[in-house]
Structure 1
Amino acid sequence: MKRTVKTIMIVICCVMAFFMPANADNNKPIKVTELPVKAQTVLSQHFNNQKVTFASIESGIIDKNYDVVLQNGTKLEFDKKGNVTEIDCKHGAVPEKLIPQAINTYLQENYSGQTVRKIEFNKNEYELELSNGIDITFNKHFQVIDID
């Protein structure tokens, strides 16, 4: 019995190891109109003066996400529902309306004059990179948990 279970586990691991690389990093160029509606709304409301030079969908084993590159070099990532997960502004600032108000208030009080160049959103944290090179991490309750 133990031998059979071990054999089945080894077969499952081999099958998973075979299929994971085949499905991982599966980027496919798409049109802007193929992005989720939420993503299109973010682009039109906050980056309307920038042309989209590249959009793609990345299908993984479990999830998919969308990558967008704008004419000025700004890169955005969206989840499968069109929620922003990352904004990286190479030559500008992340629009203030896309930064949670509690974080904006903290930045105005402690880093006046600095702009946010990059922001990453996930379930539990917000990671920001300021124009002066400082990285700040906030928890989901908008409390600072790390500064680099």
Structure 2
Amino acid sequence: MRKNTEWILILLFAIIAQNALANGPSTLESQKKFPSACRMFILKHFPETEIAHIELENGFFQSKCYHVILTNGIDIHFRQSNGKWIQIKGKPGTIPEKIFPDHLIKYLEDFYPATRIVIATKEENRYRIKLNDETELAFDCYGNPAKDNF
């Protein structure tokens, strides 16, 4: 009888551990916990799109961030600390240009007219952009091309 109990406990522990690992980052139970700064960014730049999924991801060395997937496939990461976006991924033409400084968009129009942004990362004082032709570019916080481009 004791061996059966031990096996049942081991099996129960294994099931609980597997579920915890499979679920990964904690999924927000309600969009009410989602910061208003993030919600306002989405409403402003993606007014015709709804939120499909929100997770609060625990960074190992980084701070926590909200990972949001919109119904149009746009994937956005926001800093938990201040609600500012840190990365946006989407299909060509789905990331609004108004998110970026005018100089950055003008540079892309002048030198990469047939391309569209598919990934944008916003760091403290720079933008990193990946275009649909696999070109990767860096810009300062004002949208000017960075001298140490990748």
Q: TM-score, normalised by structure 1?
A: 0.72
Mapped to 1, the partners of 2:116 and 2:132 lie a distance apart of: 5
Residue 121 of structure 1 pairs with residue 119 of structure 2:
no
Match of 2:25 among 24, 27, 46: 27
Which residues in structure 2 correspond to 1:46-125 (within 5 Å)? Answer: 46-60=45-59, 63-80=63-80, 81-90=82-91, 92-125=93-126
Mapped to 2, the partners of 1:83 and 1:132 lie a distance apart of: 27
1:86–1:118 Cα contact (<8 Å) kept: yes
Mapped to 1, the partners of 2:126 and 2:105 lie a distance apart of: 15
1:60 Cα deviation after fit: 4.1
Unaligned ranges ≥5, structure 2 = 1-23
Correspondence for 1:43:
42
1:74–1:91 Cα contact (<8 Å) kept: no
Unaligned ranges ≥5, structure 1 = 1-25
Question: CA 1:73 to 1:34, structure 2 compared with 1: closer, same or farther past 3 Å?
Answer: same
Give secondary structure in 1 for the equivalent of 2:37. Answer: helix
Structure number having the greater strand percentage? 1
Q: CA RMSD in A?
A: 2.1
Q: Name the aligned partner's letter for residue 42 of structure 1.
A: F
Correspondence for 1:10:
none
Equivalent residues, number: 122
2:92–2:116 Cα contact (<8 Å) kept: no
Mapped to 1, the partners of 2:59 and 2:129 lie a distance apart of: 26
Q: Name the aligned partner's letter for residue 94 of structure 1.
A: I
Q: Name the aligned partner's letter for residue 68 of structure 1.
A: V
2:68–2:76 Cα contact (<8 Å) kept: yes
Give secondary structure in 1 for the equivalent of 2:25. Answer: strand
Mapped to 1, the partners of 2:96 and 2:77 lie a distance apart of: 15
Mapped to 2, the partners of 1:93 and 1:38 lie a distance apart of: 21
**Greater Rg, structure 1 or structure 2?**
2
1:32–1:52 Cα contact (<8 Å) kept: no
